[in-house]
Amino acid sequence: MRLLTLFSSNEHLIWRSFAALCVATLTAFTYAASTIDTLHYDVQLEPDMSAQRVSGRVVIRFQFTAQDTATWNANVVELDAGELEIISVTEGKRSLSFSKRDKRLSIVMPDAPDKREHTIRIVFNGKPKFGLRFLPNAEQVFTEFSTSEWMPCIDEPSDRASVSITLDLPRRYKVVANGDLQSRTHLPNGKTRYVWRQITPIPSYLLGFAAGVFREVVDDSAKPTLRYLTSTAFDEDDIRKIFTETRSMMAFFEKKAGIPYPEKQYTQVLVSDWAAQEIGGFAVMGESYGRRVFNDERAVWLGAHEVAHQWWGNAITNVSWNEFWLNEGIGSFMTAAYLEDRFGRETYERTLNAARTKYNAIREAGKDKSLIFDNWLNPTSQDRSLVYDKGFIATHELRETLGNEVFWKAFRDYTKKYWNQSVTTRDFQQAMEASSGRSLAAFFDEWVYLRK
Ligand SMILES: [Zn+2]
């Protein structure tokens, strides 16, 4: 039980740092997202392990959103760019003027907004304080949620784009990034250039890569190909044992979604520090996860949770962080549902009771809130617990209210309807109501909106 709490807190911990550090960036998101719709990011990066710096360029293809074409200053494109130093911005052969204030990059487009697709190229470098983590002793580097800290982008969960990631890395490194490996080329400077490409558009916080001195095990005995990257502390037999349940996780979520895992490959990475992160097509977790599962085959909460996010969180994403429970509450419920299916009802009950204990303490302290936050800019640890634990309990109670058969059919209908889209709580409620044929207004008032 303690382990469950630990794993659950691990994601809380990361989101705490994300939320705390991204206050300024998130403020900028509101404007940035309303200006353009990004279509594709083509990013090339060269991480420098010893200096813990990154240099690169990103080519962004976008369109102005229709509403902005009438706005007088709408030819200014706003991007989130963390603390990166911007070297140049060009469109074709034209240099564009730009300015950077706080974490916002403002680019003046030469002409008034139109309906055409535009392609701009931004050259940058920087030493990110977060969002890109270097572990020099282990020779590992990986991205962590705050994409705009290592690549100018729109850091908004409602904005989706396809991505191509090119990485120049030392030859002995193994690497995973979004989508599929397109090419691997040895460069004259002794490095290797990897090109990965993700065709299905995803929100920018799910863009990323992990690279380093890893041991690699590949299981291509079925679809999707499963790939495991860990530090060399684990041998091949250890790795196969740690990830022995990945296929059963995939099969369970595919069945409940009614949609197969959408990519050709899924990779699980264990880095030599704490981490708990879903990314498009892979997950990054800490080595401690591997050790726990090695000793207890049921301690797979975190691994299953990150696999579940490939459906609920990644493919179906909260439209705003204010409705983060749609990612994490539903993700936590699906994790418990997997544990129930794989290890029995008792494991489910223990997970549920752990969430109830935390939620009841919050409620008794008078800190219960609606699962839709006014402003998810500076959440407390109790707010994060509400999103994960109350969100899990609410989804559990919805299953209790509808009964297994009706609930799972409605949940599958919701998943299919909003596949590869960003959703609101109202979308979820309406989909569950339409499929079950029942009004859930009273249920959502009680469990989600906290209306009396
Ligand atoms: Zn999660």
Asked whether the beta carbons of 62 and 117 are under 8 A apart, the reply is yes
- Maximum Cα–Cα distance across the chain: 68
Contacts of 199 (CB under 8 A, 6+ apart): 162, 179
Given a cut of 50, whether residue 396 has pLDDT beyond it is: yes
Asked whether the beta carbons of 233 and 287 are under 8 A apart, the reply is yes
Asked whether the beta carbons of 52 and 92 are under 8 A apart, the reply is no
Q: How far is ligand 1, taken at its centre, from the CA of residue 180, in Å?
A: 23
Q: How far is ligand 1, taken at its centre, from the CA of residue 278, in Å?
A: 7
Q: How far is ligand 1, taken at its centre, from the CA of residue 101, in Å?
A: 32
Average pLDDT over residues 10-28: 38
Euclidean distance between CA atoms 7 and 182, whole angstroms = 34
Strand order in the sheet with 98-101: 76-80, 104-108, 98-101
- DSSP, collapsed to helix, strand or coil, labels residue 132 as strand
Helix (H) or strand (E) holding 364: helix 345-364
Q: How far is ligand 1, taken at its centre, from the CA of residue 312, in Å?
A: 9
Euclidean distance between CA atoms 135 and 171, whole angstroms = 17
Asked whether the beta carbons of 208 and 130 are under 8 A apart, the reply is no
Q: How far is ligand 1, taken at its centre, from the CA of residue 79, in Å?
A: 26
pLDDT tens digit sequence for 418-448:
999 999 999 999 999 999 999 999 999 999 9
Number of CB atoms found within 10 A of residue 323's CB: 26
Euclidean distance between CA atoms 370 and 424, whole angstroms = 14
Q: How far is ligand 1, taken at its centre, from the CA of residue 100, in Å?
A: 32
Number of CB atoms found within 10 A of residue 384's CB: 21
Q: How far is ligand 1, taken at its centre, from the CA of residue 344, in Å?
A: 22
Task: Please give the pLDDT value at position 29.
Answer: 35
Task: Please give the pLDDT value at position 68.
Answer: 53
Euclidean distance between CA atoms 239 and 246, whole angstroms = 12
The tokens 């074709």 sit on which residue?
92
Given a cut of 80, whether residue 22 has pLDDT beyond it is: no
Euclidean distance between CA atoms 382 and 361, whole angstroms = 10
CA dihedral 296, 300, 302, 306 (to 10 degrees): 150
Q: How far is ligand 1, taken at its centre, from the CA of residue 13, in Å?
A: 11
Q: How far is ligand 1, taken at its centre, from the CA of residue 384, in Å?
A: 11
Q: Which phi and psi angles does 166 have, rounded to 5°?
A: -110, 130
Average pLDDT score, the chain? 91
Distance of CA 41 to the CA centre of its chain: 16
pTM for this model (two decimals): 0.92
Q: How far is ligand 1, taken at its centre, from the CA of residue 331, in Å?
A: 6
Q: How far is ligand 1, taken at its centre, from the CA of residue 182, in Å?
A: 29
Distance of CA 32 to the CA centre of its chain: 20
In the chain, what are the helix, strand and coil shares in percent, each to the nearest 5? 40, 30, 30
Q: How far is ligand 1, taken at its centre, from the CA of residue 314, in Å?
A: 10
Task: Please give the pLDDT value at position 50.
Answer: 96
- Among 56-70, 210-224, 239-253, 387-401, name the one with the lowest average pLDDT: 56-70
Given a cut of 70, whether residue 146 has pLDDT beyond it is: yes
Confidence of residue 69 (pLDDT cuts 50, 70, 90): low
Asked whether the beta carbons of 81 and 105 are under 8 A apart, the reply is yes
Q: Which phi and psi angles does 310 have, rounded to 5°?
A: -60, -25
Q: What is the 3-state secondary structure (H, E, C) of 62-84?
A: EEECHHHHHCCCCCEEEEECCCC
Euclidean distance between CA atoms 276 and 144, whole angstroms = 9
Contacts of 350 (CB under 8 A, 6+ apart): 1, 4
Confidence of residue 145 (pLDDT cuts 50, 70, 90): confident
Asked whether the beta carbons of 89 and 120 are under 8 A apart, the reply is yes
Euclidean distance between CA atoms 238 and 247, whole angstroms = 17
Given a cut of 70, whether residue 11 has pLDDT beyond it is: no
Given a cut of 70, whether residue 54 has pLDDT beyond it is: yes
